[in-house]
């Protein structure tokens, strides 16, 4: 299940809803990404996340399907926000639930790595020096590349 | 054909979206990018360094040799920096 | 922070409390372990988790300290329940929060692997054939062993 | 010295906890286990297969050659199966 939205989300409520009544789930892994106060060296106060409506949903759905094909998942959820986000605000939520904790961890990390490198989002950071588009980080590409070898 | 621009490509080109009708010889992404550069100085500046430009055709990532045609939605944007 | 308790916990509330106001956190990974309906081949209806009061707290605190020494964590939490737990109930919660998502994922998985193999808990499963103490699973020991090489 | 038993070791021995006063020659975990076996048939049965028994001394995991003394808290239990 995927959602792209401007509004905040409630990680605990989403987890409860996703796992409710499914007794085959032994472990659920959740990732919450937050706006933090340094992007590289600069002091970040807020950012605006732009995305490509339509393509975002299409790509997230494809990535989620791929995770479900690679690992024995009972349930998964991706919620990604866009728009202006202040320091400390939630940006993204990924939950994976499986009979086996190893599968839940691997699938969650896979999805997060892909979101960071393949989902059509662009960050405009507000710093004391003004607003600046964030450049792609090579370490993120490497994190995603390791899954292509797997 | 609809062309969309995102992030700093949108700011540099000056529009978020435009309808274009390239000549029939423009059949793939590479040729479309070359043709878009000729639309004006802002397009030329925005597309000067193609190593910083990514392309999607009909909402899927595309490469330079991928085909494009009249009914397509083509998007140009910098490398993504999501989440 | 660690807690060993009979009562249930609220993963969302714990996450919110742990990360509140800390703007250095870029990613938080949560693991929730649930009672699932197969332990090996048998149909599990409920289980009772026995532990060693005093040693449990001492070992969990030591494991959490080790995770904090290995990875740049801003915050971490382990909550482990004991007593009788029915199908679908929450057993354990592990949360790790870091500037970097890679560290949060690695530390959370490290802690969960250790909990499964080193925390002094013993599972008594209720199945249609009666109650039976669960035997240690070799795959769990291997999952924990990989961290000793790291 | 206090000895605690957990899980099926507790059921087999028949008590959760006992105060014991082993002879002075019992100075390490291995000797303590041997001595505990002599306390009765239930102890002997519970401790017959030491490969299934884990030991903690003062709430830390211990090995057969680790020292034990009068004031210690010693716990015997099967391999853990937590969470």
Q: Is B83 within 8 Å of A80 when comparing Cβ atoms?
A: yes
Least CB–CB distance from C123: residue in D4, D77, D81? D81
Chain C meets chain A (3+ C-beta pairs below 8 A):
yes
Residues of chain C in contact with residue D57, where contact means CB-CB under 8 angstroms, are none
Residue ranges with strand state E in C72-146: 75-81, 83-86, 90-98, 121-127, 130-133
**Interchain contact C24–A (C-beta under 8 A):** yes
**CA–CA distance, A80 with C46 (Å, rounded to integer):** 36
Amino acid D46: pLDDT: 97
**Interchain contact C19–A (C-beta under 8 A):** yes
For the residues C3-9, what does the mean pLDDT come to? 98
A131: tokens are 């607003």
pLDDT in tens, chain A (150 residues): 999 999 999 999 999 999 999 999 999 999 999 998 865 566 778 899 999 999 999 999 999 999 999 999 999 999 999 999 999 999 999 999 999 999 999 999 999 999 988 899 999 988 888 898 988 776 566 666 666 644
The CA–CA distances, whole Å, from C29 to A71, A89, A93, B31 equal 19, 16, 10, 45
Q: The whole model's pTM is what?
A: 0.91
For the residues C87-95, what does the mean pLDDT come to? 96
Asked if residue D79 has pLDDT above 80, the reply is: yes
Residues of chain C in contact with residue A11, where contact means CB-CB under 8 angstroms, are 11-12, 15, 30
Least CB–CB distance from C88: residue in A23, A33, A102? A23
Amino acid A42: pLDDT: 66
Q: Is D81 within 8 Å of C137 when comparing Cβ atoms?
A: yes
Residues of chain C in contact with residue A106, where contact means CB-CB under 8 angstroms, are none
In this predicted model, what pLDDT tens digit does every residue of D18-35 receive, in sequence order? 999 999 999 999 999 999
Asked if residue C150 has pLDDT above 50, the reply is: no
A130: Cβ–Cβ under 8 A, 6 or more apart, which residues? none
**Interchain contact C90–D (C-beta under 8 A):** no
Q: Is B79 within 8 Å of A134 when comparing Cβ atoms?
A: no
Amino acid C42: pLDDT: 66
Q: Is A105 within 8 Å of C109 when comparing Cβ atoms?
A: yes
Q: Is B56 within 8 Å of A52 when comparing Cβ atoms?
A: yes
Contact map slice: C 61-120 vs A, CB within 8 A: 87-88, 99, 101-102, 104-105, 108-109, 112, 116
Residues of chain A in contact with residue B5, where contact means CB-CB under 8 angstroms, are none
Mutation choice for A interface testing from B59, B78, B81 by most A CBs within 10 A: B81
Diameter of chain C measured on Cα atoms: 52
Higher pLDDT: B82 or C139? It is B82
**CA–CA distance, A78 with A11 (Å, rounded to integer):** 11
Q: In chain B, which residues have pLDDT < 50?
A: none
Counting as contact any 3 or more CB pairs under 8 A, the partners of A are B, C
Least CB–CB distance from C87: residue in A10, A23, A38? A23
Q: C130 CA to chain A: closest CA distance, Å?
A: 20
Counting as contact any 3 or more CB pairs under 8 A, the partners of D are C
Residues of chain C in contact with residue A98, where contact means CB-CB under 8 angstroms, are none
For the residues C68-84, what does the mean pLDDT come to? 98
**Interchain contact A147–C (C-beta under 8 A):** no
**Interchain contact A36–B (C-beta under 8 A):** no
Amino acid C140: pLDDT: 61
Amino acid C149: pLDDT: 47
Q: Is C29 within 8 Å of A29 when comparing Cβ atoms?
A: yes
Asked if residue D83 has pLDDT above 70, the reply is: no
Residues of chain B in contact with residue A55, where contact means CB-CB under 8 angstroms, are 56, 59-60, 75
Element (H, E) at B31: helix B29-37
**How many Å separate Cα A121 from the centre of its chain?**
11
Counting as contact any 3 or more CB pairs under 8 A, the partners of C are A, D
How many CB pairs (< 8 A) connect A and C? 111
In this predicted model, what pLDDT tens digit does every residue of C35-62 receive, in sequence order? 988 655 667 788 999 999 999 999 999 9
What DSSP line would sit under B41-82, residue for residue? HHHHHHTS-GGG-EEEETTEEE-TTSB--TT-EEEEEPSP--
C98: tokens are 């870091």
Q: Is D80 within 8 Å of C118 when comparing Cβ atoms?
A: yes
Element (H, E) at A144: helix A138-149
Secondary structure tally for chain C: helices H, strands E: 4, 10
Q: Is C32 within 8 Å of A27 when comparing Cβ atoms?
A: yes
Q: Is C26 within 8 Å of A32 when comparing Cβ atoms?
A: no
């Amino acid at each position: 299940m995927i959602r792209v939205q401007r509004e905040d989300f409630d990680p605990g409520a989403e987890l409860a809803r996703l796992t409710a009544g499914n007794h085959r789930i032994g472990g659920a892994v959740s990732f919450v990404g937050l706006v933090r106060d340094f992007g590289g060296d600069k002091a970040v106060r807020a950012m605006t996340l732009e995305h490509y409506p339509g393509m975002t949903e299409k790509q997230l759905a494809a990535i989620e399907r791929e995770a479900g094909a690679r690992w024995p998942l009972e349930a998964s959820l991706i919620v990604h926000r866009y728009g202006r986000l202040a320091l400390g605000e939630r940006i993204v939520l990924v939950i994976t639930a499986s009979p086996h904790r190893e599968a839940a961890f691997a699938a969650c990390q896979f999805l997060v790595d892909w979101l960071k490198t393949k989902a059509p989002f662009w960050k405009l950071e507000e710093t004391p020096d003004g607003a600046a588009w964030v450049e792609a980080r090579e370490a993120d590409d490497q994190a995603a590349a390791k899954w292509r070898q797997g | 054909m609809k062309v969309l621009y995102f992030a700093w490509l949108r700011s540099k080109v000056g529009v978020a979206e435009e309808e274009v009708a390239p000549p029939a010889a423009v059949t793939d992404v590479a040729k479309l990018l070359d043709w878009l550069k000729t639309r004006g100085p802002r397009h030329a500046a925005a597309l000067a360094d193609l190593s910083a430009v990514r392309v999607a055709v009909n909402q899927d990532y595309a490469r330079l040799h991928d085909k494009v045609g009249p009914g397509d939605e083509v998007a140009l944007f910098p490398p993504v920096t999501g989440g």
